[in-house]
Amino acid sequence: MKASHRDALLRKHLKYLQKKYGTNLRFNFNNLKENDRLILLQPIKNLCIPMKDPFILQQHRILHHNNDLEISSDCENQFFFMIKTLYSMFKERNYQLLSCSNANQVLQYSSSSEDKKLRLTVDSRNKSHENDILSNSNVFNLYLCYFHLLKNYDFLENIKEELLKKLEESEQIRRESIYSNEMKFCKICSVLKDELQTLKEKYNNISKNYTISQMEKERSVMNYATGEKRLLEAQKSIKLVEKKHQEALKENAGLQKKLQRAEHDISKLATEMNSKCSEIMQLRNQIERHRDSDNAKEMKLKWAQNRLKIITDAQEESQAKLNECLAKNTELKNQCEFLQSQVNDKIKMVNKTDENKVTILDQQLKEQQARLIMERHVIEDAENTRIKLQKEYDILLDRQRIADKENHLLISQIHSLQREFTECKTEVNFLRASLEREKEKVQTLESQLSQMETLNKHLETKEQRLCALEVELKRLQLEKADFQADIEALRQREIQMLDFTQKLTDKNVQLQCNFTNIQSKYHILENSQHPLEQRIKKCMEDIASLEQNLSREKIKRSEECNVLAKYIAELTLYNQTLLYQLEDLEGEKYILRKRYELAIREMNREVYLRRTKTENNKSLPDASSSENCANCEESALKESHSQNSSLNEIGNAKMYDVLDKENLYKQLIKLQKINAKRAERIDFLEEHSHALLKELQKKTKIIQNYGIPCDINTNHGKF
């Protein structure tokens, strides 16, 4: 039935009711839909009558008992208004007309879907209007027929037969009273003709409405088929979404495993990085030590070269002095030979001369003897000088031999130092190559770390996608629930449609009622969806707050990790500094021990020399010859010179002559005290280094056991 035609019919009935009863009733035709739901208004109080059960309105009282519904009114003028409201209610509640009695003004309706009955009664307090209502029973019947003809075509045909019977009866009555009431009957005939025309028009309209209802039925069948198709498509989409959800869950599990592996690899790489850094630091320290040792060896080489230069210069000077002494010795030897030759010549000359010249010769002999004595003294002095020079020459030769030995030793030391230098160079080159390799490894590890960071970012993006997919999955689950609810409703409707195929005529009205029920359910679902949407909004707000809290916690945890990393780096640096201090102290200890041993050896040698000197001084008499004293002094000088050449830290030979026994003992006591203090210091430093190593080991164990494997929360709590 078209909306415009229906509105025109309703307006006609309203005009008739307003003319007859003067009721101020009007309809709001703007909200009319295809399911014939009307919103009825009462303009007197501006109240809207809702289509719900039970409800209370002024001058209308509706009571909903267990199985019956009773509606009563206090005014006869609003009887038709109540009928309209009941008709709209009957459409929603699936009621059907059982009986109608106009005399008692009672309507009884029953529902096909529910075992309920409805009874309408009108209490007519104004008895003056009662006859009017009873006299206008035809209008009432016509009005009821209009509403029931909208529902059932068979029922309309019965009403038509009844109306024709009533028309025939009216015609018979008119024929009997033709003479007395011609004018009245003419008027009545004209009225009846008009009514017949209206009825024919109504019949045509009803037939049209019937065809329209059939078309609507076919449309409803097509809608049902399309709904089933949509349902199947929705089920397929739900299955696809579930498959996607399962795949997403699998991908999430795989990504979580990859994340765990990546975290494990990152921890391994971090440990490897730390170990490589420690190795690099050790290699750098070794290189620095080798550089220091190379510098020290170069200094020793320079010092040995300078000493060699000094020794060679001294050797050249001694050779020059030797040459001068040899030249003087040869000159003296030549002079002695010349004098002997002269003496021999004179002796020969004396033997050849005469005896007369004995006196002269005696005098000359005496003079010559004196000269010879003088020459002997000169020769003795020359021999003494020659002996001294020879001794000096021997001393210089010994010195030269010692210098040659020292030179050979120094050359061997230089060669050994050069070899060590080349070895150190090779070691330095090897260490540089190893350093470059370690740098390359560090670069590769850094690249791996960057790759792992990119993987973590990719995993975070995938997690965000998974969260979005989960949100979509929840939404789809909600849609699935809605679809299932719709499916259940559609199944019920399918059952009703199967019954409808058996009883086409009866189920037409039921389909409309079901449609109205579905719309009411839809509105109920819409009303119930608002709290769900509010809950979803709250859930989204909670999710946003949780994400913010999660980001804050991530930032906190990253800061805590950075703090822990800094703390671990400081501990490692402190450990390395302690190790360097320990190594330096061990080197100092070794050097001090060597110095102490050298000093003790030197002091023992000095004591031994002094003892030998004192024993020699006691054993030898005071009237020893000057030559022996000179020899002793020379031997002492040789020994002291050899000691000075072997021991570089002791002073010259003159200082050893000056020192007494007491000074030597005092120096020994001082050195022993210094060595005892140094030994105590070394022991204290060793104990301190062992204690520091134990503390470092404990801290590293604590960090390994509690810092690295545990969660960040536990780390923060413990540290």
Give the pLDDT confidence of 146-168 residue by residue, as tens digits: 555 455 555 656 666 777 787 77
Contacts of 117 by beta carbon, 8 Å cutoff, 6+ apart: 67, 68, 69, 98, 108, 109, 110
The pLDDT mean for the chain works out to: 65
Q: Are 263 and 453 in contact (CB under 8 A)?
A: no
What are the angstrom distances between the C-alpha of 426 and each of 63, 298, 377, 415, 688?
112, 16, 70, 16, 36
- pTM exceeding 0.85: no
User: How many residues would you count in the chain?
Assistant: 719
- In the chain, domain spans: 3-235, 530-617+659-719
Residue 16: which pLDDT band, with cuts at 50, 70 and 90? low
Q: Which residue has the tokens 């029953």?
A: 110
Least confidently predicted of 479-483, 534-538, 602-606: 534-538
| Residue pointed to by tokens 């006196």 | 359
Instruction: Identify the pLDDT of residue 649.
Output: 43
Non-local (6+) Cβ contacts of 39 within 8 A are 27, 28, 31, 48
Instruction: Name the percent of the chain lying above pLDDT 90.
Output: 0
| SS3 call for 333 | helix
Reply yes or no on whether the pLDDT at 197 is more than 50: yes
pLDDT in tens, 622-657: 444 444 444 444 444 444 444 444 444 444 444 444
Residue 342 has pLDDT above 70, yes or no: yes
429, 287 contact by CB (below 8 A)? no
Q: Which residue has the higher pLDDT, 129 or 223?
A: 223
What is the average per-residue pLDDT within 256-262?
Answer: 77
Output the pLDDT for position 680. 78
CA 707 to chain centre: 16
With a cut of 50, say whether residue 209 has pLDDT above it.
yes
- Long-range interactions of 138-146: CB distance < 8 A, separation 24+: 138/166, 139/16, 139/20, 140/102, 141/100, 141/102, 143/13, 143/80, 143/83, 144/83, 144/97, 144/100, 146/9, 146/13, 146/202
- pLDDT at position 121 is 38
Token duo for residue 222: 């097509």
Q: Which residue has the higher pLDDT, 397 or 105?
A: 397
Give residue 397's pLDDT: 75
Amino acid 192: pLDDT:
67
Mean pLDDT (whole number) for 200-219: 76
At residue 504, the pLDDT reads 66
- pLDDT reported for residue 45: 31
| Residue 67 near residue 54 (C-beta atoms within 8 A) | no
**Residue 709: its pLDDT value, please?**
47
Confidence grade of residue 83 (pLDDT, cut at 50, 70, 90): low
Average pLDDT over residues 303-332: 76
Q: What is residue 67's predicted lDDT score, i.e. its pLDDT? A: 34
The whole-number pLDDT of residue 251 equals 78
116 within 8 A of 89, measured Cβ to Cβ: no
Confidence of residue 58 (pLDDT cuts 50, 70, 90): very low
Rg, the chain, Cα only: 69
Residue-level pLDDT at 362 = 67
pLDDT at position 706? 54
Residues 6+ apart with CB under 8 A from 199: 160, 163
pLDDT of 432 over the 80 cut = no
Tell me how far apart the alpha carbons of residues 81 and 74 are, in angstroms, rounded to a whole number: 12
Q: What is the mean pLDDT of residues 674-688?
A: 77
Mean pLDDT of 474-495: 77
Hey, which of 15-24, 65-74, 564-573 has the most confident mean pLDDT?
Answer: 564-573
What pLDDT score does 539 carry?
67
Q: What is the pLDDT of residue 212?
A: 80
User: Which of 9-13, 66-70, 533-537 has the largest mean confidence?
Assistant: 533-537
Q: What is the pLDDT of residue 133?
A: 39
pLDDT higher at 45 or 694: 694
Note the pLDDT of residue 94: 42
358 or 373, which is more confident? 373
Strand partners, 101: 106
Per the CB < 8 A criterion, the answer to whether 469 and 255 are in contact is no
In a 10 Å sphere around its CB, with 0-12 CB exposed, 13-18 middle and 19+ buried, how is residue 486 labelled? Answer: buried
Looking at residues 515-543, what average pLDDT do you find? 71
Q: Using an 8 Å Cβ cutoff, are 497 and 224 in contact? A: yes
**What per-residue confidence (pLDDT) applies to 157?**
66
**Cα–Cα distance, 629 to 394 (Å, whole number):** 18
In this prediction, residue 517 has a pLDDT band, given cuts at 50, 70 and 90, of: confident
Considering only CA atoms, which of 249, 141, 155 is closest in space to residue 195? 141
pLDDT score of 548 more than 80: yes
Specify the pLDDT at position 189: 60
